[in-house]
């Protein structure tokens, strides 16, 4: 599975960052800057390994993204193990239909399906659902999975883009879009030297679950306690009277 997302636009302005300053003398950014254009970052993330493939662009119309995506996904599919050893037509069609079961908008699958090689998670944009783009993805054995509206948090490429942007631009004042693109691509190369895998419901989710299991709800409200409250039974109350 791979996740695709476009980050930006990033402007040529000073980006705030953390710093150590004497008390009463906060770090100040220049209030004047030149609007020399913007830059965006095209990103493909492999969550299982944390590897990213990025490209900096000044804009991202429908004529830019498909070309880069076809070249990059084509390289990824070619690097996968051959599928002839396990290919079965009926099983393969069942796999394609399985991933279409819960989709709100299903596209028609062709009669002759290539082996399902890769899942692509990306946003539910009109440019991502053009017939030419979908037909090319299917021909390469790529199943597109579109995140629902207001559900971009389901795309893990959003997370890695925030990390790359913070490492590349915080505390910097780029003077041109090319400088922004070079910084983002350089940080991505450094990230790939020691990437971090992305896992849904990982250790952090397990810590939250353990924390919630130790709480005791108080009635029908949202309040909780770390110890059980003593309950008074009706019989005990009547005996006291």
- Band of the pLDDT at 192, cuts 50, 70, 90? very high
pLDDT the model gives residue 100: 75
pLDDT the model gives residue 187: 92
pLDDT the model gives residue 128: 75
Question: Which of the pair, 151 or 189, is modelled with greater confidence?
Answer: 189
pLDDT the model gives residue 141: 83
- On the question of pLDDT at 188 being above 90, the answer is yes
- On the question of pLDDT at 31 being above 90, the answer is no
pLDDT > 70: what percent of the chain? 79
What average pLDDT does range 90-116 have in this prediction? 76
Distance, CA of 162 to CA of 178 (rounded, Å):
19
Question: Which of the pair, 21 or 221, is modelled with greater confidence?
Answer: 21
Cis (ω within 30 of 0) for the bond into 11? no
pLDDT > 90: what percent of the chain? 9
Distance, CA of 13 to CA of 38 (rounded, Å):
10
Residues in the chain: 241
Helix (H) or strand (E) holding 182: helix 177-193
Distance, CA of 160 to CA of 179 (rounded, Å):
20
> Tokens at residue 55, please?
């490209």
- Pair type for strands 118-122 and 2-11: parallel
- Residue-wise pLDDT for 62-86, tens only, equals 777 888 888 888 889 888 887 665 6
- Band of the pLDDT at 124, cuts 50, 70, 90? confident
Does the domain at 2-193 match CATH 3.30.420.10? Answer given as yes
């Amino acid at each position: 599975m791979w996740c695709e997302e476009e980050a930006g636009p990033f402007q040529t302005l000073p980006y705030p960052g953390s710093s150590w300053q004497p008390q009463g003398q906060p770090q100040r950014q220049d209030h004047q800057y030149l609007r020399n254009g913007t830059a965006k970052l095209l990103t493909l993330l492999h969550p299982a390994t944390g590897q990213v493939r990025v490209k900096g662009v000044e804009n991202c119309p429908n004529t830019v993204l498909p070309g880069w995506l076809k070249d990059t996904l084509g390289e990824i599919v070619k690097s996968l193990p051959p599928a002839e050893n396990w290919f079965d037509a009926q099983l393969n069609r069942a796999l394609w239909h399985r991933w279409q079961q819960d989709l709100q908008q299903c596209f028609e699958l062709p009669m002759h399906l290539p082996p399902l090689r890769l899942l692509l998670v990306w946003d539910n944009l009109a440019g991502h659902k053009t017939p030419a783009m979908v037909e090319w993805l299917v021909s390469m054995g790529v199943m597109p999975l579109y995140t629902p509206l207001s559900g971009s948090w389901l795309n893990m490429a959003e997370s890695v883009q925030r990390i790359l942007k913070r490492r590349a631009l915080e505390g910097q004042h780029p003077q041109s879009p090319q400088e922004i693109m070079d910084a983002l691509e350089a940080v991505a190369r450094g990230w790939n030297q020691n990437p971090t895998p992305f896992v849904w419901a990982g250790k952090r989710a397990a810590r939250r679950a353990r924390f919630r299991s130790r709480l005791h709800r108080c009635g029908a409200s949202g309040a909780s306690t770390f110890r059980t409250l003593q309950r008074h039974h009706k019989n005990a109350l009547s005996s006291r009277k």
